[in-house]
């Protein structure tokens, strides 16, 4: 690593909404699900209802600060639905894990790859932490080798959703990096910014203007401006 004082000890990335622009991805997935519902109305309606409940469960568990939230999420989503938990798991994996891969890979935020390459060239260790399983999405972007650690809330070493700082701290432990000298890049101030604050890190919220700021986080319109900010 160079002697640039602005360079962090490590950079940890969120994935969903951070690696890619979420708007186009949501529209593509909504269209796919609508087409599925037209072809298989009952199965499509069940999948749509389950996926909505699954997302709501995460936000509820996040607000409650449940340490074992990821283990409870599927059960909460299935409550009140006549669906076998294993069948529900397959639906979630298909529609939230597998089907979005081609969409997210074509909707990368401008400058993401250049930012990652520049950080690696400067010797900055990189990691990923997301509330949802992230490795397949990192592979879809062709960037698996760039990250020394890829974790999600579901991993046994974490077991908690953001803004709990456990996942960020586990990434930093793996990279042997100091929290006060490391940064987290996310897209939600109330989630990613707060998780970084609790971990003792700085956060940059991608997609917000540079004038936006909160307790421990600052806006970053895009990866190009953030690259300049960090001296990469």
> What whole-number distance in Å separates Cα of residue 166 and Cα of residue 189?
17
pLDDT for the residue 4: 57
Q: Return the number of other C-beta atoms located less than 10 Å from residue 24's C-beta.
A: 13
222: closest CA among 104, 115, 106, 101? Answer: 115
Residue 3 lies inside a defined structural domain of this protein: no
- Domain end, chosen from 76, 103, 130, is at 103
Same domain? 42 vs 88:
yes
Q: Say if residue 171's pLDDT is above 60.
A: yes
Q: Average pLDDT of 41-65?
A: 91
Q: Average pLDDT of 83-108?
A: 92
pLDDT for the residue 183: 97
Which parts of the chain fold into alpha helices (H)?
22-39, 41-64, 69-78, 85-92, 101-105, 112-121, 135-140, 166-175, 194-199, 223-230
Q: Say if residue 65's pLDDT is above 80.
A: no
Same domain? 123 vs 217:
yes
Same domain? 156 vs 68:
no
Same domain? 220 vs 133:
yes
Q: What is the pLDDT of residues 175-225, one digit of tens each?
A: 999 999 999 999 999 999 999 999 999 999 999 999 999 998 999 999 999
Q: What is the DSSP string of 166-182?
A: HHHHHHHHHHT--GGGE
Residue 123 lies inside a defined structural domain of this protein: yes
Same domain? 169 vs 136:
yes
> What whole-number distance in Å separates Cα of residue 208 and Cα of residue 214?
12
Q: Average pLDDT of 42-66?
A: 90
Residue 169 lies inside a defined structural domain of this protein: yes
Same domain? 15 vs 32:
no
The tokens of 165 are what?
């700082």
pLDDT for the residue 95: 94
> Which range marks the domain in which residue 56 is found?
24-103
User: What rounded mean pLDDT belongs to the chain?
Assistant: 92
- Whichever domain contains 204, its CATH number is 3.40.50.1000
pLDDT for the residue 86: 92
pTM of model > 0.85: yes
Q: Which residues of 55-84 are buried (b: 16+ CB within 10 A; e: fewer)?
A: eebbeebbeeebeebbeebbebbbeeeebe
Q: Say if residue 119's pLDDT is above 90.
A: yes
Dihedral angle of Cα 186, 188, 191, 196, to the nearest 10 degrees: 40
């Amino acid at each position: 690593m160079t002697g640039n004082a602005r360079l962090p000890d490590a950079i940890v990335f969120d994935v969903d909404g951070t690696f890619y622009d979420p708007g186009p991805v949501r529209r593509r997935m909504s269209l796919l699900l609508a087409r599925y519902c037209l072809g298989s109305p009952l199965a499509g309606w069940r999948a749509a209802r389950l996926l909505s409940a699954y997302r709501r469960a995460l936000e509820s568990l996040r607000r409650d600060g449940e340490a074992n939230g990821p283990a409870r999420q599927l059960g909460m989503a299935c409550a009140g639905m006549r669906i076998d938990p294993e069948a529900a798991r397959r639906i979630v994996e298909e529609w939230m894990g597998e089907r979005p891969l081609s969409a997210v890979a074509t909707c990368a935020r401008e400058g993401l790859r250049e930012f990652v390459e520049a950080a690696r060239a400067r010797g900055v260790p990189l990691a990923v932490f997301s509330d949802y399983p992230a490795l397949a999405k990192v592979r879809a972007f062709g960037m698996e080798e760039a990250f020394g650690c890829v974790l999600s809330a579901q991993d046994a070493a974490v077991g908690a959703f953001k803004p709990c700082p456990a996942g960020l701290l586990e990434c930093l432990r793996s990279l042997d990096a100091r929290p006060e000298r490391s940064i987290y890049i996310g897209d939600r101030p109330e989630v990613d910014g707060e998780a970084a604050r609790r971990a003792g890190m700085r956060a940059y919220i991608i997609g917000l203007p540079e004038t936006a700021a909160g307790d421990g986080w600052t806006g970053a319109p895009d990866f190009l401006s953030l690259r300049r900010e960090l001296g990469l």
